[in-house]
Structure 1
Amino acid sequence: MQKDQLFTRRRALLAGAAALGAAGTAGLILADSGEEAARTSVAPVAGPQARQALGPSAFRLQPLTGYGPPRAAPHRLKVRDEPILRVSGTGRRMVLTFDDGPNPLYTPHILDTLAEHGVRAMFFVCGEMAVENKELLARMADEGHVVGNHTWTHPLLTALDRGEIRSEMERTSDVIEDAYGERPQWFRAPYGAWNRAAFQLGADMGMEPMAWTVDTTDWEEPGTSTIVDRVESGAAPGVVVLSHDAGGDRSQTVRAIREWLPYLLDSGYHLTVPRRRPV
């Protein structure tokens, strides 16, 4: 399948899946008063906030696959009924997330901007993109970003059977482990369309389900100023921001982050990533 055809198919599916994604994630907020297991798994780790680039290999995950002991079984997790929409904790903490990449045209520019401001983020990658751009996953590991599983081909999971969902998730986790250095601990359903099988299989593979609080809707290419406004007006403690670094023309997203990221930092927000569990 050509990438242009894949992007067109994804855009066509978005309209039908958007309502389902909203219904599946609306109002599912983890507050500080939530269950202890939820608070522990999503407790944020403050990323460096100094305005200088991170040093080479400052956060490199070691050992890489093939140089360490045999892979351990995934950490057993409770099967959730709802995805995580917010992070708990005190202070003005937010999480930045980027979906559908990595893309060699746009992801490096986003990584450059994050590095310029000393900020870490989460990247939910698609296996078919990751397998062709492994050097970008290695860079994410070097610079302390968290990589999550976003399936192999970005399908609508509610239209697949259990075996197909497992294959989409397992293949992606395998390529992430190979390029990033460890298996992902976070999973995001394409289009925000969750079902029971996705929650169960994700937990079996040691992955927590994460959705989002603020959608920039940059996939609509609404204009750089509109994306900036959506992030800045939606900023609040515990918010998870959804943007995209692939799946279409993401030049607006690249330009927008150069504006809204300094604004969030100047406004006193601490941009964080979830704490990794021992593996």
Structure 2
Amino acid sequence: MPQSLVVTPAPQSVATPAATIPPRPTPTPVPKASVQPKASTKRTAQTSESAKRPSVPVQKNQGHARIQKKLTLSQLVAKYPDTFKLRGSGLEKKIALTFDDGPDTRFTPKVLDVLKSHQVKATFFVLGSLANTHPDVIKRIAQEGHVIGNHSFSHANLPKLSVNQFQNQIVHTENVLQGLIGYAPKLVRPPYGAINEEQVRWIADHHYLIVNWNVDSLDWKSLSAAQVLQNVLHQTRPGSIILQHSGGAESQDLSGTVQALSPLITKLKAAGYTFVTVPELLHVEKSK
């Protein structure tokens, strides 16, 4: 392995979710039904005795005691290790390239061209709404041997949704993709990497797998190729899941991502890394 190509590991940490597409407005939550106060009861002759006793919480307060503190992403990963993944095993020099927020017709085809020229397979986390708009690009991704994952339907901030809205984001996208590629993706990547514990449990119960990342290229900031390359090389280690983008908002320029991809693959291959898909890295199936 050439000494100049050794990738310097960065401290392991849970990736900070990146706002890849400006947040979409979410439906206004349904107001909670107001609780009518209970009718007061008449005082008894034992008022002097009862006044001395400490007050006992009524039943409605017992419900608050059962509400658990919201867990951070790192705590969720630790609590649900079989459902929430950030990386693969560090025992082999295998890594996975992943691309979010596609498909589009500006950058996704260019990313596919580079991957094809290097014979590298990647994993694309796509939006159901854009899969509907660009079905031919979705079909090309699948036909060229890449794996497709579920990135929600409209890039919603999932923890802000109701239970039904959250489920619809996942299931609607699954239905769209199954009609285009012939399988229901097992892999789910929440937009911004954000998800709450109730949603993690639903994911587990329905046999999905949450896949975030431990290497963030920050390419959503419309960085230059040199900046994207530096960000990835600085953080990559055996088992890394690398976050990049193949689509985004109209204001985002992912030219740096496309231009950095070929030298990135060349340098990491020279350093002894093998590129695999996320299912290969995590030893799971790509479909449910």
Same-fold status (TM-score > 0.5)? yes
User: What is aligned with 2:22?
Assistant: 9
CA contact (8 A) 1:218 1:253 kept: yes
What pairs up with 1:157-168 in 2 under 5 angstroms?
157-168=158-169
User: What is aligned with 1:24?
Assistant: 73
Q: 1:201 offset after TM fit, Å?
A: 2.9
Letter in 1 for 2:267: Y
Q: Highest Rg: 1 or 2?
A: 2
Letter in 1 for 2:269: L
Q: 1:238 offset after TM fit, Å?
A: 0.5
| Alignment gaps of 5+ in structure 2 | 1-19, 27-71
Q: 1:203 offset after TM fit, Å?
A: 2.7
Q: 1:221 offset after TM fit, Å?
A: 1.5
Letter in 2 for 1:10: P
Letter in 1 for 2:218: T
Q: Give the match's secondary structure for 1:158.
A: helix
Question: Please, which moves more after superposition, 251-260 or 235-244?
Answer: 251-260
CA deviation vs aligned residue, 1:102-147 (integer Å, no higher than 9, x gap)? 1111001111111111111110001111111111221122121111
User: What is aligned with 2:259?
Assistant: 255
Q: 1:199 offset after TM fit, Å?
A: 1.4
Whether 1:230 and 2:243 are equivalent positions in the alignment is no
User: What is aligned with 1:131?
Assistant: 132
CA distance in 1, matches of 2:116, 2:196: 36
User: What is aligned with 2:213?
Assistant: 212
Whether 1:110 and 2:159 are equivalent positions in the alignment is no
Whether 1:91 and 2:92 are equivalent positions in the alignment is yes
CA deviation vs aligned residue, 1:53-100 (integer Å, no higher than 9, x gap)? xxxxxxxxxxxxxxxxxxxxxxxxxxx4xx201112642000111101
Q: Give the match's secondary structure for 2:141.
A: helix
| Alignment gaps of 5+ in structure 1 | 1-6, 14-22, 39-79
CA contact (8 A) 1:174 1:183 kept: yes
Q: Give the match's secondary structure for 1:152.
A: coil
Coordinate RMSD, CA, aligned? 2.7
Q: Give the match's secondary structure for 1:131.
A: helix
Name the CA shift for 1:215/1:27 in 2 (closer, same or farther; >3 Å): farther
Letter in 2 for 1:251: S
CA contact (8 A) 2:224 2:255 kept: no
Q: Give the match's secondary structure for 2:104.
A: coil
**What is the TM-score of this pair, normalised by structure 1?**
0.71
- Give aligned pairs, total: 217
Whether 1:101 and 2:102 are equivalent positions in the alignment is yes
Q: Give the match's secondary structure for 1:10.
A: coil
Letter in 1 for 2:22: R
CA distance in 2, matches of 1:146, 1:218: 21
CA contact (8 A) 2:90 2:237 kept: no
Whether 1:240 and 2:241 are equivalent positions in the alignment is yes
CA distance in 2, matches of 1:125, 1:159: 20
CA contact (8 A) 1:140 1:180 kept: no
Match of 1:269 among 263, 266, 273: 273
CA deviation vs aligned residue, 1:155-202 (integer Å, no higher than 9, x gap)? 111110110000111110011111112010100111011112321332
Q: Give the match's secondary structure for 1:9.
A: coil
CA distance in 2, matches of 1:240, 1:260: 14
Name the CA shift for 1:28/1:8 in 2 (closer, same or farther; >3 Å): closer
CA contact (8 A) 2:24 2:156 kept: no
Name the CA shift for 1:12/1:167 in 2 (closer, same or farther; >3 Å): closer
Q: 1:12 offset after TM fit, Å?
A: 11
Name the CA shift for 1:119/1:12 in 2 (closer, same or farther; >3 Å): farther
